[in-house]
Amino acid sequence: MVTMLIMSLAMPFFLTPVMAQEATKAATEAAPKVEMAKDVYFKTEGPVSGNPVPELKAADYPSYNLPYPLSENRILIWSIAQQHLYFGSFVLAVPIFCMIIELVGLLTKDPVMAKKYDDLAHLLVKISLTAYSVTAILGGLLLFSFITLYPDFFKYISSLFRPVMHIYALLFLAESGTLYIYYYGWDRMAHGFAKWMHACLGVLLNVFGSVLMMLANSWASFMMSPAGVDEQGRFLGNIWNVLHNALWNPLNVHRIIGNMVFGGGIVAAYAAYKFLAAKNMEEKAYYDWMGYIAMFMAVGSLIPLPFAGYWLMREVYGFRQQMGITLMGGLLAWLFIIQAVLIGALFFSTNYYLFNGMERMRGAEKYQKYIKYILFLTTAAFIVWLTPHTLVMRPAELKAIGGQQHPIIGNFGVMSAKNGAVNTMIMTTIISFLLYQRSNKIITVKWEAWGNAALVAMFAVALVNNWWLAIYGYFIPANVRVGLSVPQVMGTLTTLFVGSAINIAMMKGSKLTGPIEWGKISVRSQYALFALAVSFTWLMALMGYIRSSVRLFWHVMEVFRDTSPWAFTHTIGFAANVMSMNVMAFWLFVLFVFWLGELTSKHAVAEARKEAARPVMAGGSE
Amino acid sequence: MTQGLLAVTILFSSIALFILAYNLPRVRGLLMAIGFYMVMTGAFTGYSNWLPQTRGEVPPPPLKMEAGAVDSMPVDKLADMGEAVIFGKVGGFAERGIGKGQCPLCHTFKAGDIGDRAPNLIGLSKRAMERLAEDRYKKGNAAQPESFKGSGRAVTAAEYIAESHSCPSCYVVAGFGEKGSNDTKSPMPEIHKGAIGLTLEELIAVDTWLYFREGETPPPAKEIRAAYEKFIPEGERTKSAPAGEAAAPAGPPIALAADTPEQIVKKMGCAACHQIPGISIAKTGAIGPVLMEKVTAQRRLSSPEYQARVKAGKAGAKTPKQYVIESIVNPSAYVVHEFEMGNPEKSIMIPDFATKFTYGALDKMAEYLLSQDCAAAKKDGLNGPAMEPVSKLCG
């Protein structure tokens, strides 16, 4: 229904150029012949329906006389876009969480727990309301910055995406309306059929949000992998081709998952801060629980993220091999080493949090002896994960190492090893979670031994399969090696889904050694949540920079050249400085948003906090 | 070095926050949280600044040379030019550099190196004839039968190499095609256009190097040119900039108001021709006048020669500052007699500084030059060019 509505709204926009072309054809045979040109990506012929990209000079980029580095227009655009994307991600992710948490609440039979989930969802949407306004303001600021600082570029892009931009604006209206009904109707639609309708509104909100994001993604992905235009950048009459460029879908998937990870991280940080500032045990218990739920959602989303990233990168290589090599083995390769460090920080923080979380459960001691093995495996995988492949090196360094790759550890730099390493890290985190789930339980099912044996065997087979394929990958050509990632991923996902299923089945009817004592987690663990949040934020800044800078000196890859005085690519250190300033600015903004939320939320959560102290079982479900 | 200061600042700020937190228990939680964020941010920033720092430059514009200039170039010079296109500079092969052609991103060039993504190019000149004899080559690629309609196929080794460069999908070496294309589509871009955009001269140089580095005699440049002209239609050829024409702006550098006069001089390369008092790098230029405008600007402005240019509508400055700015952005408005080099109408100075200075930078540079006098020149030991020595200007 919604899709049909959107399509009916969109059709006139989408069809305009094509219809114009049809009309021209039908009108008269004597009309001037339409020039046809070849699509740079789809290689199909289409009628030339737009102007070529403008040929710009350095002086065509109006700039302010600001001190360096603000004298570079791109730094201003970069910072504003980054803040807009941070808040945009947050306000897209929070409704996803709200939708899930509200549904969980609806499906939970225990009325106390149901209310607890419902209140949490309500609190989250309240926090995101202010962030939503900030996102819109930053979006406006970004738009004005583009118009004033990159007028020719913006004119070109808007000439192509004209209909998409209008639909974007209409969707924004629709999303705002839905959000306000969703939030302000919370109490009125609290029971019976109305509550289900309210949950449906949550789904609708996410549909609008996701389509909105996908449309905006098309602009960024078009700049990386243009389509629907000819070599001169002239529009060829089919907006769907422009929209549906090579990297659009991989970017959509990667961003949706990434947003969820990021949103979870922010909520976890909020809960951690509130936990540390809590004045009584009730508050501590509530925010400990909230932090756990947010961490669970963030890490749950983090697990599929590398696979989405892998798909995106595979499509980058498919679109333009040089682009992939620039990323993974060329100018930008060191940035992936930083990414590896950040992802390592995420996995370590998660495991550390789970290990600490066991402390709030009596009976967890018997599993703590496994921590050192998990830590060892994670560390070993992390070291392999961050070993670089081909690097941009100085001649002296090349000579010292004896080539682009180190004779021994250089072997860990290839994709084969990376796939093995990241799958290992994911599996060790899954093991930590399974142990966490059963920490306060004595399993009573008769098939306990078989269940444990099945779990051990499954993880052993998955790990050995993963390592074996990683080693085998060294002996086969690259194009065959790419296919090995599938069985590696399958092994990891099997441990996740089948492992969790077996674990949950084994816990059926289990005896509690004690409740989860929410609030009795260590203070250190809350800093692990901070570490998660700041790593996510930095990671997002880094990956955004990588995605954007891979275009090097092109506004639109190979079609529209960047002739500004700052078309070169900055050093890693410079980029990192800008990223850090952006990260710090964002968290200052977030503090402000949370503070605003705090002004009105005190009464709303007071009741929920009282309920939070109620003991529940591990696993987050009940 | 200064780039890394931010990380240090962030880390020190976080320590300050921790100390504050210790002493302010009411806001301890908040300050500790911010401090922790800053520790992590500082650590990531510091790590990133510790890694090797490489700036990705904008590739140079096409070489300045007349079409056909390489035809008479000695083979070794042409091969050197080819090496620079492939590996970034002469000698870049040994260092495995990456040049404008970007070839080493995918191809390997040394015996024993395995090319996963594209064939090793060693022995290419010999292998070319073997490829031409293959059934697959003769049968042709239905998806891309020839470079363009009517271009025909390669019959010589030089043509095979030219065809591979300009139409990579015309024939794809088995195993190197795009996934799922059954070797009918090459992942290699057409290097004579698009992002790489090599000119015919650069392509000829590249092919010459491929032969020359293996001790073989390359085909004459004219033959290679003919091969490329066979496969690249006239409209698709990237043109070399004619000799003497200013290169297209490659992006940086640009003079900004925030720059010091020394930085502006360095960015704009003024010191190549001018001596400028107070600028450490501008002590030897001998092609243009010494830039001590406190002494010369008013003098030039009042000269009958300048006033003649004003009457002729070529110049229009009324104040010394206007004169200095005019001289930078429109050097041919008035050429000082001693520096005419045979043509009073056209200065030999680079004519496009108008697009390389911001207004603020022009203003700053003009002010600076107008403050320079004989004392400053003598203090720096400047003698000036032979055409107009400092001694003549300062007495």
- What value of ipTM does the predicted structure carry? 0.81
B98 touches chain A (CB under 8 A): yes
Mean pLDDT of the A172-198 span: 91
Name residues whose C-beta falls within 8 Å of residue A255's C-beta, 6 or more positions apart in sequence: A89, A213, A217
**What would the mean pLDDT of B366-374 be, rounded to a whole number?**
90
Handedness of CA B146, B152, B153, B157 (dihedral sign): negative
Q: Which distant-in-sequence residues (6+ apart) come within 8 Å of B52 by Cβ?
A: A334, A391, A392, A393, A394, A397, A572
DSSP A47: E
Over range A4-21, report the average pLDDT.
49
Does residue A394 lie in a domain region?
yes
Query: Strands A441-442 and A45-47, how do they pair?
Result: unpaired
Q: Which residue of B has its CA nearest to A392?
A: B54
Confidence band for A2, pLDDT divided at 50, 70 and 90:
very low
Note whether A337 contacts B51, CB cutoff 8 Å: yes
- Determine, yes or no, domain membership for A209: no
Count CA within 13 A, CB hemisphere, residue A113.
Answer: 16
Per DSSP, A229 falls in state: B
When pLDDT is cut at 50, 70 and 90, the band that residue A617 belongs to is: very low
B259 CB neighbours in chain A (<8 A) are: 68
Distance from A580 to chain B by nearest Cα, in Å?
6
The verdict on a CB contact (< 8 Å) between B257 and A65 is: yes
Q: Do the chains contact at B256 and A65, CB–CB below 8 Å?
A: yes
Contact A534 B355 (CB under 8 A): no
Phi and psi for A304 in degrees, rounded to 5? -80, -10
Mutate to test the interface with A, among B41, B55, B102, B359 (most CBs of A within 10 A): B41
- The SS3 of residue A555 is strand
Closest of A434, A367, A381 to residue A619, by C-alpha:
A434
pLDDT for A234: 94
Lowest mean pLDDT across A405-414, A430-439, B78-87: A405-414
Instruction: Kindly state the average pLDDT of the residues B42-66.
Output: 80
Rounded to whole angstroms, how far apart are CA atoms A146 and A156? 12
pLDDT of residue A389: 64
pLDDT of B244 strictly over 50: no
Q: Which residues contact A140 (CB under 8 A, 6 or more apart)?
A: none
Distance CA A119, CA A140 (A): 32
Q: Note whether A526 and A460 are within 8 A (CB).
A: no
Which one of B29, B54, B194 has the shortest CB-CB distance to A558? B194
d(CA B115, CA B105): 10
Whether B102 and A322 lie within 8 Å, measured CB to CB: yes
Q: Considering the domain boundaries, does residue A468 fall inside one?
A: yes
Give me chain B's average pLDDT, please: 83
The partner residue sitting opposite A392, judged by closest CB among B37, B52, B359, is B52
Q: Residue A392: list chain B partners with CB under 8 A.
A: 52, 54
Inter-chain CB proximity B44 and A326 less than 8 Å: no
- CA within 13 Å, CB half, B12: 6
Could you tell me the maximum CA-CA distance found in chain A, to the nearest angstrom?
Answer: 88
Residues contacting residue A585 through CB under 8 Å, at least 6 positions apart: A79, A83
Q: Is B358 in the A-facing interface, judged by CB distances under 8 Å?
A: yes
| pLDDT score recorded for residue A22 | 52
A142: which 2 tokens? 């970004």
Of the candidates B205, B166, B162, B161, the residue with the CA atom closest to the CA atom of residue B69 = B205
Q: What is the mean pLDDT of residues A125-154?
A: 92
Euclidean distance between CA atoms B357 and B326, whole angstroms? 12
Per the CB < 8 Å rule, is A538 touching B40? yes
Which residue do the tokens 């109620």 mark?
A: A614
Test the A interface: residue of B48, B89, B106, B184 with most A CBs within 10 Å: B48
- The band of A52, judged by pLDDT with boundaries at 50, 70 and 90, is very high
pLDDT band at B241 (very low <50, low <70, confident <90, very high): low
Say which DSSP state A569 is in: B
Distance in angstroms (rounded) separating the CA atoms of residues A486 and A464: 15
For A396, counting Cβ atoms within 10 Å of its Cβ (0-12 exposed, 13-18 middle, 19+ buried), the class is exposed
Cross-chain Cβ contact B40/A530 below 8 Å: yes
Domain count, chain A: 1
pLDDT surpasses 50 at A312? yes
Strand ranges (DSSP E) for A430-556? 441-442, 511-512, 554-556
Question: Which of A327-331, A451-455, A485-489 has maximum average pLDDT?
Answer: A451-455
Phi, psi torsion values for A355, nearest 5 degrees: -60, -45
B41/A576 CB distance under 8 A: no
Q: In this predicted model, what pLDDT tens digit does every residue of B170-183 receive, in sequence order?
A: 998 888 887 778 88
DSSP B223-249: HHHHHHHHHS-GGGPBPPBPTTSPPPP
Residue A616, φ and ψ in degrees, nearest 5: -135, 170
Between CA B186 and CA B176 the distance in angstroms is: 7
Output phi, psi for A578, to 5 deg.
Answer: -65, -45
Distance from CA of B302 to the nearest CA of A (A): 32
Give yes or no for a contact between B146 and B167, defined as CB atoms under 8 angstroms apart: yes
Which residues are registered as beta bridge partners of B199?
A: B238
Q: What is the pLDDT of residue B39?
A: 94
In a domain, A92, yes or no: no
* pLDDT above 80: residue A9: no
* B268 touching A (Cβ < 8 Å): no
Element housing A561 (H / E): strand A560-561
How many Å apart are CA A367 and CA A354, to the nearest integer?
12
A422's CB contacts (< 8 A; 6+ apart) are A306, A343, A381, A385
Q: Which among B385, B388, B381, B395 is positioned nearest to B277, based on CA atoms? A: B381
Of B33, B188, B249, the CB nearest to A58: B249
| Chain A interface disruption, residue of B38, B51, B106, most A CBs within 10 A | B51
Query: What pLDDT shows up at residue B250?
Result: 41
pLDDT range class, residue A50, cuts 50, 70, 90: very high
Whether A466 is in a domain gets the answer yes
Q: Which amino acid is it at A367?
A: Y
pLDDT-derived band at B248, boundaries 50, 70, 90: very low
Q: Does residue A48 surpass a pLDDT of 90?
A: yes
- The span from the CA of A165 to the CA of A20, in Å, is 20
Neighbouring CB atoms inside 10 A of A43's CB total 10
- Alpha carbon separation from A444 to A77, A267, A316, A435, A438 (Å, rounded): 60, 36, 51, 16, 12
Whether A436 maps to a domain, the answer reads yes
The closest alpha carbon to A127, from A594, A600, A604, A603, belongs to A594
**Does A464 fall in a domain?**
yes
Tell me which chain B residues have a C-beta less than 8 angstroms from the C-beta of A581: 6
- The answer to the question of residue A418 being in a domain is yes
Domain range for A417 is 362-514
Residue B67's pLDDT is 66
Q: Determine the Cα–Cα distance for residues A366 and B68; give it in Å rounded to an integer.
A: 81
What helix, strand, coil percent values describe chain A, rounded to 5?
75, 5, 25
Q: Decide if B25 touches A, using CB distance below 8 A.
A: no
Q: Inform me whether the C-beta atom of residue B365 falls under 8 Å from chain A C-beta atoms.
A: no
In this predicted structure, what is the pLDDT of residue A398? Answer: 62
By the 8 A CB rule, do A120 and A288 touch? no
Separation of alpha carbons A384 and A415, rounded Å: 10
A4-13, A571-580, B264-273, range with the lowest pLDDT: A4-13
Q: Under a CB-based contact definition with an 8 Å cutoff, are residues B194 and A231 in contact? A: yes
Contact (CB, 8 A) for A309 and A385: no
Please report which confidence band the pLDDT of residue B149 belongs to, taking 50, 70 and 90 as the band edges. Answer: confident
Q: What is the mean pLDDT of chain A?
A: 85
Question: pTM of the full predicted structure?
Answer: 0.71
Residue A472 has pLDDT above 60, yes or no: yes
Q: Please count the other Cβ atoms lying within 10 Å of the Cβ belonging to residue B351.
A: 14
Q: What is the mean pLDDT of residues A473-499?
A: 81
Q: What is the DSSP letter of B303?
A: S
What is the rounded CA–CA span in Å between residue A566 and residue B8? 26
Searching chain B, which residue's CA lies closest to the CA of residue A272?
B33
Per-residue confidence (pLDDT) for residue A307, from 0 to 100: 83
